[in-house]
Amino acid sequence: MQSYVLVISLLFLLMVAAVFWWVVRHSTADASGAGAGGSVESYRGGLFWGLVALGLVVAALTLRPWPYDVAASDGATTVTATGNQWSWEIVPQELPAGRPVIFKVTSNDVNHGFGVYDADGTMLFQTQAMPGYVNQVRYTFTKPGKYRVLCLEYCGLVHHDMIEEINVK
């Protein structure tokens, strides 16, 4: 999945680079003042709004499974996760599979990153753990098993050891 995303990203970067190259190539021709400016201008305008529309469509499609929308709490289990230098306090640590879980994430000291990984080491979701704020993430574990919580924000000397386990049954 990640290599697939990388290839797509590289293709898009290549397209952006091609557009830049095209603009650089043609901007000198326009500066010489020899006509045809109007059609190039309208072409650029069309290209611009076309890209804006494409961006909106891509954003709408890819953000649909947005995990931060926790408004509908249809019988979801609520979990509090608190970051401390250097451990996680997660209550409860045993969670149900196949039912939505709402994580309420905060910190007692500095900023931490709350990242949840499956047994294969694939990140499932993450949010910031910030002192004075409660960030919420909604997630449904599809498979039972052991999941790991890692800290994703450098938070001091023992940041690397801020690891906790979640048991999904």
CA 132 to chain centre: 22
Residue 114 is encoded by which pair of tokens? 């709350």
Q: What CA–CA distance (Å, rounded) separates 46 from 67?
A: 34
**Shortest distance, position 16 Cβ to ligand CUA, whole Å:** 34
Contact criterion met (CB below 8 Å) for 116 and 90: no
**Shortest distance, position 83 Cβ to ligand CUA, whole Å:** 6
Query: Per-residue string for binding with ligand CUA, 123-162, x by CB under 6 A?
Result: ----------------------------x-xxx---x--x
**Shortest distance, position 127 Cβ to ligand CUA, whole Å:** 13
**DSSP type of residue 109:** S
**Shortest distance, position 87 Cβ to ligand CUA, whole Å:** 9
- Measured over the CA atoms of residue 66, residue 111, residue 104 and residue 92, the dihedral's sign is positive
Q: Which is nearer to ligand CUA, 71 or 157 (CB)?
A: 157
In the complex, the residues that contact ligand CUA under the rule CB under 6 A are 83, 86, 112, 151, 153-155, 159, 162
